[in-house]
Chain A
Amino acid sequence: MRDRLPVLSYGLIAEIITQHPLWKRGIRWVSRGTEFITRNRVWQSIFRQGYPDTEENQSRVIFNSWFLHIHPVKVKKHSLNIKYTWGLGVITAFLFIVLVITGAWLMFFYVPSVEQAYTDIQSLATSVTFGTLMRTVHRWAAHLMVVTVFLHMCRVFYTGGYKTPREFNWMVGVMLWVLTLLLSFTGYLLPWDQLAYWAITVSTNIIGSFPVLGEWMRVILLGGHEVGPAALIRFYTMHIAILPGLMAILVGVHFWRIRKDGGLSSSLEANKIDYGGSTR
């Protein structure tokens, strides 16, 4: 009895919507608009393939695009398994992009001088449209990136993703983790408030405590014996130029190596003949 009642399934809802004349008219308008945009020399000089609904165009859309060509045209089904990767690498890379964009925007309104830095941050809240939002997103994205990069490292470790032939990419990954921490650390000083000042003082004192070389390293880092104007400009330069540059290069190497090493690690690679050592 029960299964004879009409069931309001997604399929049925979709059918009701797509059979409606308004929907059909909408589709006609959209396709006319699309044709207007895409059927001309300018569009076709930029995007050399047609709409990616055939395998040929789906291949060309990847390797014709500078932005997409870091991807292979085809990927192993296994590497799309969310429960294998949890998307942590992609999320971390995306957070880096968010940080570059919000960070560049924040640079418009920030002067790294002891006289101006703090008031510049204050005026983000009072006289810049979306100033507080952008600064907040920048800060939380930075914290989140510290978390996701670490979780990504744990994921790769626990799935054995560092094994041959991915040894070097694991090393690059560890360096990227350290770089992420350094980027976050150098950015921490820039608001020039009490939180920033004392966090950096505490951290650099630790380095200074190292026998013989400690004080020398601390002076190099801070440009003086205390956290002051020189430290602010050094941290700023590290934060906006040197470290992000290094990061971009290493991220490039990291992605490139994923492909060179045969895509993401997979249990298909598990070799029944064991070459490695055992404690047994």
Chain B
Amino acid sequence: MSDQTQDVFPKDPRKTYGLMELVKGTSPMVEKGPEDTVMSWPHLMILEVLAALGTTALLLFWSLAAKAPLREIADPDVTENPAKAAWYFLSLQELLLHMHASLAGVIIPVVVIIALMVIPYIDRSKRDIGIWFASKKGRKIALWSAGYTTVCLIGLILFDDFVRVRSLVNEPEILPGWIIPILVIGGLMVLLYVLIRRWQPTTREVLIGLFTGFVVTYFVLTVSSLFFRGMGMHLTWPWDLPPRALTF
């Protein structure tokens, strides 16, 4: 035993010691003694109780500030305008305006869920585990990808609303509905990858760029669909929204 380990695991004079086994590899606790841990009671318990109390307080104050909405009784004959999905699905509804419904509402979400699930099997390096954004470079890539995605999405939304892809290419339906959206999405992702490459990123840093793209897309599309879509889901300013266009 080295001197350092001696401090961590002091020899007990009542016991005998011998080498029992050699194990290959490392563990999180290697060369780290019990001093790196604390008792769950009270240290973890206090934090959990505080989190619960804080959340309860927030919920109560929020509930005092705003009541849960309730509109008129459901009526299939009176269409809501705009008819919006719940806010967390509004990013999909925004996509719906720009491509075939099943691409926006079924294929893309399924692909996203599968892509998220396979992340750990693509990035298998343990070099930078537990480090926010992997490195300085990773942080830069995340910021860069966020900016890139925001600008691209706003550009695309404005282009499709003011110029309209369908006014340029309408026939056959497969072009504006499927091929153009897939090419644009795929193209922008490849372009993002090409732009990131100049920093010579690791696999994880490339994934950070792509994941940030996904998070920012979800956010930007939700905001645009919730706050910038009025009657008939046409673009409008948030202050011109009909009051019923906000769906919570």
Measured CB to CB, the residues of A under 8 A from B are 52, 55, 58-59, 61-62, 68, 71-78, 80, 82, 84, 87, 90-91, 94-95, 98, 114, 118, 121-122, 125, 132-133, 135-141, 143-144, 146, 150, 153-154, 157-164, 166-167, 170-171, 174, 178, 181, 184-185, 188, 191-199, 201-203, 205-207, 209-211, 214, 226-227, 262-263, 265-272, 274-280
Q: How far is the CA of A80 from the CA of B60 in the complex (A)?
A: 26
B55–A91 contact, CB under 8 A? Answer: yes
- Which of B9-17, B40-48, B158-166, B180-188 participates in binding chain A? B40-48
Q: Does B232 contact A (CB under 8 A)?
A: no
A-B contact pairs, 5 of them (CB 8 A): A132-B68, A194-B78, A195-B69, A270-B127, A276-B125
B residues in contact with A211, CB < 8 Å? 102
Within 8 A of A (CB), among B84-100: 84-89, 92-93, 96, 100
Bitwise, B21-54 to A at CB < 8 A (1) or not (0) is 0000011110010101111111111011001100
Residue of A72, A203, A272 touching B89 (CB-CB under 8 A): A203
Shortest beta-carbon distance from B70 to chain A in Å: 5
A residues in contact with B6, CB < 8 Å? none
Residue of A74, A163, A185, A226 touching B86 (CB-CB under 8 A): A185
B residues in contact with A160, CB < 8 Å? 123, 128-131, 134, 204
A271–B51 contact, CB under 8 A? Answer: no
Shortest beta-carbon distance from A94 to chain B in Å: 5
B70–A198 contact, CB under 8 A? Answer: no
Bitwise, B64-80 to A at CB < 8 A (1) or not (0) is 00111111111110111
Q: Does B226 contact A (CB under 8 A)?
A: no
Q: How far is the CA of A135 from the CA of B127 in the complex (A)?
A: 47
> Closest residue to A74 on the B side, CB-wise?
B37
B28–A58 contact, CB under 8 A? Answer: no
A residues in contact with B129, CB < 8 Å? 159-161, 163, 265-267, 269-271
Total A-B contacts with CB atoms under 8 angstroms apart: 272
A residues in contact with B123, CB < 8 Å? 160, 162-163, 276
A193–B71 contact, CB under 8 A? Answer: yes
Q: How far is the CA of A184 from the CA of B88 in the complex (A)?
A: 9
B124–A74 contact, CB under 8 A? Answer: no
Residue of B48, B59, B197 touching A98 (CB-CB under 8 A): B59
A residues in contact with B169, CB < 8 Å? none
A-B contacts besides A185-B89, A210-B106, A268-B29, 16 pairs, CB < 8 Å: A87-B47, A90-B52, A118-B74, A125-B70, A163-B123, A163-B124, A163-B129, A166-B120, A170-B117, A171-B117, A188-B86, A191-B70, A194-B73, A206-B106, A272-B127, A279-B201
B residues in contact with A78, CB < 8 Å? 36, 130
A residues in contact with B239, CB < 8 Å? none
B55–A271 contact, CB under 8 A? Answer: no
A267–B127 contact, CB under 8 A? Answer: no
A residues in contact with B73, CB < 8 Å? 118, 192-194
A98–B56 contact, CB under 8 A? Answer: yes
Q: Does B136 contact A (CB under 8 A)?
A: no
> Closest residue to A86 on the B side, CB-wise?
B51
Q: Does B238 contact A (CB under 8 A)?
A: no
Q: Beyond A160-B128, A193-B73, is A170–B43 a contact (Cβ under 8 Å)?
A: no
**Most A Cβ at <10 Å: residue of B27, B40, B66:** B40
A197–B131 contact, CB under 8 A? Answer: no
Shortest beta-carbon distance from A29 to chain B in Å: 24
B55–A98 contact, CB under 8 A? Answer: yes
Q: How far is the CA of A118 from the CA of B104 in the complex (A)?
A: 32
A75–B106 contact, CB under 8 A? Answer: no
Q: How far is the CA of A192 from the CA of B100 in the complex (A)?
A: 29
A140–B132 contact, CB under 8 A? Answer: no
Residue of A161, A196, A207, A266 touching B74 (CB-CB under 8 A): A196
Q: How far is the CA of A55 from the CA of B39 in the complex (A)?
A: 8
Residue of A91, A196, A226, A262 touching B51 (CB-CB under 8 A): A91
B residues in contact with A192, CB < 8 Å? 73-74
A58–B42 contact, CB under 8 A? Answer: yes
Q: How far is the CA of A277 from the CA of B206 in the complex (A)?
A: 11
